[in-house]
Structure 1
Amino acid sequence: MNATRLRVYHGPDTANTPESDENRLCEQDTVTVKAEEIIPLLADAYASRRTWLADFADDEVTVSADLYEVLVAYRFFNRPA
């Protein structure tokens, strides 16, 4: 009977592989993405009360000036009467 040997996988050899998105994320502090990619995810996480969302509560987010103006107006007009 052949004995099964387990090996620990350490990932691809980074010297011979092209730089992937994950590798670039590890090297950079910021990533630029379209709002349409993250808004549904953030909304779902907020609605589902995901605890990991609180880990990022103090992080700063950069938005365009026109989006900021819309958000400020929305917050003002969305107040309970």
Structure 2
Amino acid sequence: MAPQLRVYAPDDENDTLAPEPSVHIRLGDLLPLVAMAERQHFIWLKDFLDDEVLINEDLHEVLMAFRAAVRPSA
């Protein structure tokens, strides 16, 4: 017998309030995991692509410079 699907109405309170970030992780621990998930095309990673990550200004400057350096010339 085929499983029955259920439809749930969205909870308006939970839709507008995102949980505050509460876990600190080293970038060196995070990047290999994210890279592996990307390489292996794990679908769950797409659920988090709009999430924001707080980084320091120095890292932001380095990343923006790197992005500009590796951008293909037109």
Query: Is the TM-score greater than 0.5?
Result: yes
Change over 3 Å in CA distance of 1:48–1:64 after alignment to 2: same
The amino acid of 1:75's aligned partner reads R
Q: Using the alignment, how far apart are the partners of 1:78 and 1:47 within structure 2? A: 20
Between Structure 1 and Structure 2, whose CA radius of gyration is higher?
1
1:9 is matched with none
1:36 is matched with 28
Confirm whether residue 67 of structure 1 aligns to residue 53 of structure 2. Answer: no
**Given the two structures, how large is their TM-score scaled by the length of structure 2?**
0.66
Find the partner of 2:50 among 47, 50, 58: 58
Runs of 4+ in 1 over 4 A off after TM superposition: none
1:6 is matched with none
Aligned CA-pair RMSD: 1.4
Confirm whether residue 80 of structure 1 aligns to residue 72 of structure 2. Answer: yes
**Given the two structures, how large is their TM-score scaled by the length of structure 1?**
0.61
Question: Unaligned regions of 5+ residues in structure 2, if any?
Answer: 1-19
% identical equivalent positions: 41
Q: What's the CA shift for 1:46?
A: 1.1
Question: Unaligned regions of 5+ residues in structure 1, if any?
Answer: 1-27
